[in-house]
Every structure is written in structure tokens, then in C-alpha cells.
Structure 1
């Protein structure tokens, strides 16, 4: 799993010049629900974000990093000139699936979508397929790590030989 990082200013001198920073790193597993939320947000974004959309972006980034920092820390810690771009790139990292491994994403790269709305609709179809075939609830699917969902879609779990005992699994 690939991770992403964000650097926030944590200390300023007496005239407001940054003197200390802290880097935060995403966790290796990101829930499918969060991926879906990021895609939905990007699909709904038509122009430059307004005030409400800015707050949504901040909240999404905080959740992407599993609450490693607060809203105040991110609002004070980002450079005002690059804050919107940084928030957007963090959301795009999750929504585009850049955090999954190359071998899983190679099949996905062959699929093209024309818009974030198309991508969102593809994710909706995936959720429907998984709930229909797997007899799972929507919440169960959305709570799955994103990597696991793509592993399932690629059929990796179906390629693995099913065994009935631990002895068979270890070749005994």
C-alpha cells in the first residue's frame, strides 16, 4: 500500500514566520466508504470551492489521516497560497486509487472514465454487485479496506485454493 503525507506548520516565531513543522502520513488501509466520499465530493465540485466546500475538504482530509490532527491545526498549519491545492491533492490521492499497489491497479488503469460522476457511478455499481453476489450489507462493503475491494474484484481471492483444514493449508 502506498501512503501520502501532509506537512503542517506547528510553530511560528513572534512575527509569524514558520519555525517548526510536523509531517503526518496516511495509514496503509483506507476504507472504501472514504474513497466513495472523496469521489462523490469531487463529482459535486463544479468550480472553485465555496466556504462550505472548503470545510468539507478539511473534514475529508482529517478523516483521510484518521484524525491525527485537528481542524484548527490544519487550518493554521497550511500555507494560505497553497492550502486549497494541498487539500484537493489529498482528496484526489484517495479518490483516484493512487494509494493501492501497482499490481492491483494495473487492471483498473485500463478502464477509462470521462468524469468524476462516471467514476462515482462505477463505484455504486461495484457496491451493488458486491452486495448482490456476496449477500453482504452495503455498510459491510463500505467498511472494507479499499485494497481488499479491488483484490476481490480482480479475483485474487478466487484464484487461491480453498482448503478445509490448517494441515492442508501448510501442505502437511
Structure 2
């Protein structure tokens, strides 16, 4: 049987040269790994500075030229006249009369030789929009139906009677 090792022998067996060399290498390696992680393993701290700002500089423009306004002449008031009651004129509503039921030929142009566009019946109402033109012994007015702007043409004044406006 072997004698029990003494306390001093136990300590020297732990600190033999091979054990010390291995422990030293492990300790140096651990320190190196810690240094590498400490300095190189971290991501760089975010920068707290502001981003650069873009400044737009407008292109040069022409200097506006001041134009003095020219004096505009004061318009002279036009004389407003009213047609006597019972007279045909531009802006007056008229009614077809005196055709004996035959109707009034509405023509493309003033004059008896002009093309007939349509026939207007007795009592049909029109607005006078142009005229008068004298041709072939008649006074001609350009009339238009208030309900259909396409229904317009020239009519002899002898068959048109102004419509009286009713008093309010």
C-alpha cells in the first residue's frame, strides 16, 4: 500500500511545469479574445450629428420691367332708345300673322329669290335677332324660335306682329 501524499506534495503536483504552461497559455488566450471582442467586436456607435441639408438655389430670373399703364379713354355712353309699341325691331318677340293659314316662308337670306328653309304657322312666336334688310319690295327681319335655335331665318315684316309685354 502506498503512503498518503502529504499536503505539500498535493500542491506541487498541481503546479508542475506542464500544468503551469497550459494554464498560462489559456489565460493569455482568454485575455487576447477579450481584447479582440472589446475593441473589434462592437459595432460603431451611431453618430448623433445631423445629416447634411440640401439647399436649393433658384436660377437667376429677369428683373421685372415696370410698365406704366396707358390711360384708357372713358367710354361715351351709348344712347338707349326704345322702339314705340307695335314696331318690329331686334330683341322684340313677334308672332306670325296674316298668312290665311298658308304659313309664312322663312328663307335662308333676305329676298324672294332666296331658298325657303321652313314654313312658320300663324301665331308661331319668334325673336327678332337681326335686320332690317330691304329687298324685293319688303323689309326683312332675321327671326329665331325661342324654343329651337336651329329654327331661324329671314321673314318679311308684313307678316310679323310685335307681341305686347304684359304688365306685372
TM class, shorter-chain normalised?
under 0.3
Q: Which structure's CA Rg is the greater one?
A: 2
In terms of fraction of residues, the more strand-rich structure is 2
Per the normalisation by structure 2, the TM-score is 0.17
Q: Which of 1 and 2 has higher RCO (CA within 8 Å, sep 6+)?
A: 1
Higher helix share: 1
TM-score using structure 1 length = 0.17
